[in-house]
Amino acid sequence: MSRQPSILITGAGGEIGHGLIDRLFHMSDRPIITLDLNPLEKAIAGQVRKEFVGSILDTQLLERINAEYEVDQVFHLAALLSTRSEFSPALAHKVNVEGTLNLLEFAQKEGESHGRDVLFFYPSSIAAYGLPDDVTKKQAGRVKEDEFNQPTTMYGANKLYCEHLGRYYDRHFRQLSAGPKLGKVDFRCIRFPGLISAATVPSGGTSDYVPEMIHAAAQGQPYACFVRSDARIPFMAMPDAVTAILMLTAANKAKLTRCVYNIGAFAPSAGEVESLVRKAFPVANIVYKLDEKRAGIVDSWPADVDDTAARVDWGLNPQFDLRTAFDEYLVPTIRKRYS
């Protein structure tokens, strides 16, 4: 137990969680509590005060965490990603929406208990967008947050709805009650592009073709890319994604003009990534084996996003562009990982 202000990270064992735990461990004075379906890898388990292995759907477990800890920062990363969600849409709704509602209720109750607002970070996605066809996608170019909000996947629909849920808890919670504002949730959200980590390989996503291609080449394994070579969506190197989370959650609330922000760094085609992979790993065995349906999901996502609001409101400034992401982060780090 601890009455010390603490951080709760759900889905802590996932791709974003790996990078976030390490950064928070070294920069925050708050102990980290984690909740994940699976035990954490040893490399990060030593950086957390308490590791709960369980589900975000287990409300009794959340009540136990509520009773034992004084959480005032929640990073709710647990989710079923887009491809996996298409095979189990009802389960995806349960985990992605009911699970998120559970965590928003947890944060509200924590805030009522210790009296302070609870910072709640929520990772949304470019999957919240739905571009109807290639011509519209090309004409739309860098999409703003309030454009084309018609997702074609269960995951995208879940993410878009949970953005609205978070805004409700932040701005309108129990608005008909008498007396002062009752809401205790300080909801902040980033719509992530595809993320590329040197430390982990994603699973269950549809933007996975880029990290999968790189990690396969580094291991000398063949890779069959399931999208066309001209498929294009925005991506970001994982260190920049974690930095963006830390910048948004540290920002002065008064400076934030919205709850949900686009962020972007580079928007390569699959073919442009392939060229950089072949340059780094000349013996790479990469072929294209189109999966029309998965490629259709990628085609519905924007070619790029307009992240002006993030740059103006809280200083988003990614360090890696496509070339430096490969030369300075991905290739040297991944080579070391598999050497």
According to the binding rule CB under 6 A, does residue 197 interact with ligand AKB? no
Q: Do 214 and 279 touch, CB atoms closer than 8 A?
A: no
In angstroms, the CA 99 to CA 290 distance is: 33
Q: What is the smallest separation between the CB atom of 322 and ligand AKB, expressed in angstroms?
A: 17
Which residue in 34, 108, 152, 206 binds ligand AKB (CB under 6 A)? 206
Q: What is the smallest separation between the CB atom of 302 and ligand AKB, expressed in angstroms?
A: 11
| 65 or 227: CB nearest ligand AKB | 227
Which residue in 7, 24, 81, 217 binds ligand AKB (CB under 6 A)? 81
According to the binding rule CB under 6 A, does residue 151 interact with ligand AKB? no
Q: Do 121 and 248 touch, CB atoms closer than 8 A?
A: yes
Q: Do 207 and 235 touch, CB atoms closer than 8 A?
A: yes
According to the binding rule CB under 6 A, does residue 102 interact with ligand AKB? no
By beta-carbon distance, which residue lies closest to ligand AKB?
Answer: 205
Residues 207-246 that bind ligand AKB (CB under 6 A): 207
Q: What is the smallest separation between the CB atom of 85 and ligand AKB, expressed in angstroms?
A: 8
| Alpha-carbon distances, residue 158 vs 28, 129, 189, 310 (angstroms) | 30, 12, 14, 22
According to the binding rule CB under 6 A, does residue 127 interact with ligand AKB? yes
Q: What is the smallest separation between the CB atom of 204 and ligand AKB, expressed in angstroms?
A: 7
Sites of contact with ligand AKB (CB under 6 A): 81-82, 125-127, 155, 192, 194, 205-207
